[in-house]
Amino acid sequence: MHLLYLKHCRKAVIKPLLHIIKLFSLRRGKFYSFIKKVTGIIPGDISIYKQAFIHKSAMIKGKDRRFVNNERLEYLGDAMLGAIVANVLYNRFPNKNEGFLTKTRSRIVNRSLLNDIALKMGLGDWVNAQSKIDISQTSILGDALEALIGAVYVDKGYEVCEKFVLNQIVLEYVDLKQVAKKDSNYKSLLIEWGQKHKQSVHFITEEKHISEGAAPTFIARAAVEGEVIGQGEGFSKKEAQQNAARNTLKELRLREAK
């Protein structure tokens, strides 16, 4: 009886454990397949790709007990993306000046477009962030896309990274002609509006007080002639000001239409 009881206990413990291991292996396999599909390459060091999807708000510690996140890869990916897009535009628009190239590049690498591309690529299904955060309302997806670019560069080098950005991102999701025509720098547009109407425009930006461990956010208010007309939030001062400017422009257009 005693032996039968022990066997029963072993089965009771081992079966759920094997199920957990199976699920973990299945998810790991799916992640590998996802990276292969979304990048168009065969990953070498899969751990670097996993890190690309860890937002700092997740507060995950590595084997050395230090917090692990994708900020360093994001920094690297941002630089790679900027350089590759600059080269694309330089060759695509040989008769355009530096100002045009700079503005067009900024429209492609801005957080709004990167967030949209990351969403379409399905990156949101793999991002590891604090559960309280609604990543669709933040720059987390765009940051993860830049971190993924950084991961490809670390794993495969510049040439493969360039092909990934060109084939899987720019050619797949960016209409260069449309982007070249569109101006989505709302802060610049608002300042230009102020100059045109001879009215002063300034921004008041401050860090939002949030719970410990959560990612810092900023609130920006756009004032025209001293009157605060619109405000916006973001994970950086720049993003918050862009959102504030966009909301202010909407309000100003409504006022002008009356």
CA separation for the pair 110, 74 (Å, rounded) = 14
| Angle (nearest 5°) at CA 34 between 33 and 37 | 85
Task: Please indicate whether residue 78 is annotated as part of the active site.
Answer: yes
Distance of CA 70 to the CA centre of its chain: 11
Helix (H), strand (E), coil (C) string for 113-157: HHHHHHHHHCHHHCCECCCCCCHHHCCHHHHHHHHHHHHHHHHHC
Residue 5 has a CB neighbour count (10 Å cut-off) of 9
Q: Which is catalytic among the residues 74, 143, 146, 162?
A: 146
| Catalytic residue (one of 45, 71, 74, 78) | 78
**Known catalytic membership, residue 162:** no
The rounded distance, in Å, linking the Cα atoms of 173 and 169 is 6
Contact between 217 and 235 (Cβ < 8 Å): yes
> Which residue numbers are catalytic?
78, 146
